[in-house]
Structure 1
Amino acid sequence: MTYSEFLASQTQPQAPAGLSPLLEALWYAGRDEWHHAHAIAQDNDHDPLHNWLHAFLHRQEGDAGNAAYWYRRAGQPVHTGGLREEWQAMVRSQFAG
């Protein structure tokens, strides 16, 4: 799957089969299905990318304090730009290389 195909899949009723947990969570986050995305993030807090997603999700819900904690765990600066911009950066990171 390419970045463009992933973006296009956002209009489908279900996440594409075979996505990694991180991409599946990003798929839900991109559709503002916060609870689905958050459940996946909570179950996978063992790596920096999932922690970055967790930070993003708490920023999305307006919980800046909790978001800051997860940004620290992710080793990421607190993002101050737009939510969509940050989401796209996370998705792009999965298709780089």
Structure 2
Amino acid sequence: MKIEKFEESLRDDAPPPELNSYLKALWYDARDDWKKAHEIVQELNDRNAAWIHAYLHRREGDEGNASYWYRQASKPFPTGIKLEDEWRDIVTCLLS
């Protein structure tokens, strides 16, 4: 799936069934369901999950918790990067 198709799917009532859990979490986040996105990502235990987890806590304004998760993901804290740009970067990375 390409990023454009993923973004188009945000108009639907549910995420496309072929999405993996990482992308489902980001889909729900884009639909303003932070809680559902967080519930999904909490069940995953790898660097991609940690990156999404970090982004979600950054989005909620919890920089301390976000910093912890960026370290778990082996990613630097994204200073000066807009949340929507980071979201797109993560989605693009996971779709490739």
TM-score, normalisation: structure 2: 0.94
Alignment match, 1:52 = 51
Q: Matches of 1:31 and 1:69 in 2, distance apart?
A: 25
Amino acid at match of 1:23: L
State percent identity of aligned pairs. Answer: 43
State the 4+ residue runs in structure 1 displaced beyond 6 angstroms.
none
In the alignment, which residue of structure 2 is the partner of 1:13? Answer: 13
Deviations 1:25-59 (A, max 9, x none): 01011122100000011011x21111000000000
Structure 2 segments unaligned to the other structure (5+ residues):
none
CA distance in 2, matches of 1:95, 1:42: 20
The TM-score normalised by the length of structure 1 is 0.93
Question: Structure 1 residue 72 and structure 2 residue 94: aligned?
Answer: no
What's the C-alpha RMSD, in Å, of the aligned pairs?
Answer: 0.8
Aligned-partner residue type, residue 87 of structure 1 = W
State how many pairs are aligned: 95
Unaligned runs of 5+ in 1: none
